[in-house]
């Protein structure tokens, strides 16, 4: 496969010069978004509206910049995401829309409608075959997303408690899955509690939508009801004492494989374009109702027709950056006997793993990890 082209702009601006949204518009035009036949076409712009309480998600101004460009080329854009598996503010379309509005995404600010891809209760999905899939036969993708003529992803690139980083493949693969689709990807392991580390704080219980975390008042330890645990992984990032782990040793790898295959299902057979902003690189996903201090500096905006090359380019840029002090990453590096993995994502969350996602994505033909970086 030929090298992909990944376009890049940093976040520097000059006084009275281009604004950040203007830089983003210039970047995506330089990267060739106008080569897509957008005229009269429905264009799904997949992004994450941020969980309520989280403020590291991408600002609506960036979405507006993409919407404006799509409209300039005659497209009919809409912003979209699918409902979540876990309790929180985005588990059905009504709450999801209210969350989006509260976080600043409205028809006025975005310049286009917002559609929740898998409908009111997260059940409006389509079975989509996965060309070359090894783990997924048919992916369950939000119907509105599959109905769109053109697919555009707009990703906040940041850390992730399971997959090392949340980038373009995660935004597409996991994000476009309906609730059943998300379950389909996650269901490959179960949580286990290390009683010696559990302090009985019960914080993890707030994260479990399945009542699978049971507190034993006598021992003051948490337990997992394996009959109820669906392996969604939501509780993993909630424990400040590293007391929760997955039983299945390769659960994260399998999750990564499935995510890559879901991404292939979403993008195959129609025009696609991808944008990823490495900014406010919090250690955990924007699905959290909080965001810890960034682990890495703001690096820039990336755009490409190749979702895999885009993730690789963003990851490479992050790995070359210097960790920020007073962050989860720098705190870990200062711990006595901490094993340095020479990988900022794994050093930030040692249980996480991301390379298997990119290698599997390449294996199934999602794109290439080889790219030329073109500065705009
Ligand atoms: S968050 Fe961790 S320490 Fe607190 S109850 Fe859950 S497993 Fe135990
Ligand atoms: S992994 Fe299991 S225990 Fe943890 S939040 Fe998901 S369903 Fe609940």
- Residue by residue, DSSP assigns 314-330 as HHHHHHTSPPPSSSHHH
pTM for the model: 0.87
Ligand 1 site, residue 244, Cβ cutoff 6 A: yes
Q: Which atom of ligand 1 is nearest to the CA of 238?
A: 1
Q: Is the CB of 189 under 6 A from ligand 2?
A: no
Residues of the chain by 3-state class (helix, strand, coil), percent to 5: 30, 20, 45
Distance (Å, rounded) from C-alpha 178 to C-alpha 96?
Answer: 13
d(CA 84, CA 174): 10
What is the per-residue pLDDT for 245? Answer: 79
Buried residues in 306-316 as b, exposed as e (16+ CB within 10 A): bbbbbbbbbbe
Residue 249 has pLDDT above 70, yes or no: no
Distance CA(239)–CA(151), nearest Å, equals 36
Quote the CA–CA distance of 136 and 25 in Å, as a whole number.
36
Closest ligand 1 atom to 199 CA: 3
CA distance 282 to 254: 24
Measured from the Cα of 213, ligand 1's closest atom is 6
Ligand 1 pocket check for 375: Cβ under 6 Å: no
What pLDDT sits at residue 248?
61
At 247 the pLDDT is 66
d(CA 185, CA 188) in angstroms, rounded, equals 8
Residue in 216, 220, 241 to alter for ligand 1 test, most ligand atoms within 8 A of Cβ = 241
Atom of ligand 2 nearest to the CA of 236: 4
Determine the Cα–Cα distance for residues 177 and 171; give it in Å rounded to an integer. 10
If you average pLDDT over residues 227-236, what whole number do you get? Answer: 78
Nearest ligand (C-alpha, residue 196): 1
pLDDT of 246 higher than 80: no
The percent of residues in the chain predicted with pLDDT above 90, rounded, is 83
- Helix H or strand E encompassing 300: strand 300-304
**Which domains does the chain show, CATH number per domain?**
4-185+257-375 (3.40.50), 191-246 (3.30.70.20)
| Centre of ligand 1 from the C-alpha of residue 347, in Å | 21
* Ligand 2 centroid, distance to 212 Cα (angstroms): 6
Cβ of 204 less than 6 Å from ligand 1 = yes
Whether residue 37 is predicted with pLDDT greater than 70 in this model: the reply is yes
For 304-358, the pLDDT digits (tens) are 999 999 999 999 999 999 999 999 999 999 999 999 999 999 999 998 999 999 9
* Minimum-distance ligand 2 atom for the alpha carbon of 233: 1
Cα–Cα distance for residue pair 85/54, rounded to 1 Å: 17
């Amino acid at each position: 496969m030929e090298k992909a082209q990944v376009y890049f702009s940093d976040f520097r601006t000059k006084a009275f010069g281009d604004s950040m949204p203007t830089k983003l518009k210039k970047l995506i035009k330089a990267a060739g978004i106008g080569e897509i036949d957008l005229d009269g076409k429905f264009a799904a712009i997949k992004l994450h509206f941020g969980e309520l309480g989280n403020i590291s998600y991408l600002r609506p101004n960036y979405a507006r910049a993409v919407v404006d460009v799509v409209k300039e080329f005659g497209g009919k854009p809409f912003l979209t995401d699918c409902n979540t598996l876990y309790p929180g503010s985005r588990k059905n379309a009504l709450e999801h829309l209210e969350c989006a509005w509260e976080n600043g995404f409205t028809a006025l600010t975005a310049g286009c409608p917002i559609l929740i891809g898998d409908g009111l209760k997260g059940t409006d999905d389509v079975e989509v075959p996965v060309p070359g899939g090894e783990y997924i036969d048919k992916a369950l993708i939000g119907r509105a997303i599959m109905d769109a003529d053109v697919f555009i992803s707009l990703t906040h690139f940041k850390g992730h408690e399971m997959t090392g980083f949340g980038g373009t493949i995660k935004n597409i693969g996991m994000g476009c899955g309906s609730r059943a689709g998300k379950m389909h990807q996650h269901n490959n392991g179960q949580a286990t509690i290390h009683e010696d580390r559990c302090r009985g704080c019960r914080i993890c219980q707030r994260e479990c939508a399945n009542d699978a975390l049971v507190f034993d008042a006598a021992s003051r330890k948490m337990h997992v009801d394996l009959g109820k645990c669906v392996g969604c992984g939501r509780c993993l990032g909630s424990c400040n004492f590293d007391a929760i782990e997955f039983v299945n040793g390769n659960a994260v790898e399998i999750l990564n494989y499935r995510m890559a295959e879901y991404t292939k299902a979403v993008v195959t057979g129609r025009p696609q374009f991808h944008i990823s902003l490495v900014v406010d690189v919090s250690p955990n996903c924007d699905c959290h109702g909080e965001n810890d201090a960034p682990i890495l500096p703001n690096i820039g905006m990336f755009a490409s027709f190749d979702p895999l090359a885009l993730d690789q380019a963003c990851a490479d840029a992050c790995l070359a950056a210097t960790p920020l002090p007073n962050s989860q990453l720098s705190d870990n590096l200062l711990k006595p006997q901490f094993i340095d993995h020479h990988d900022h994502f794994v050093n930030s969350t040692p249980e996480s793993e991301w390379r298997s996602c990119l290698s599997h994505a390449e294996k199934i033909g999602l794109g290439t990890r080889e790219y030329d970086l073109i500065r705009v």
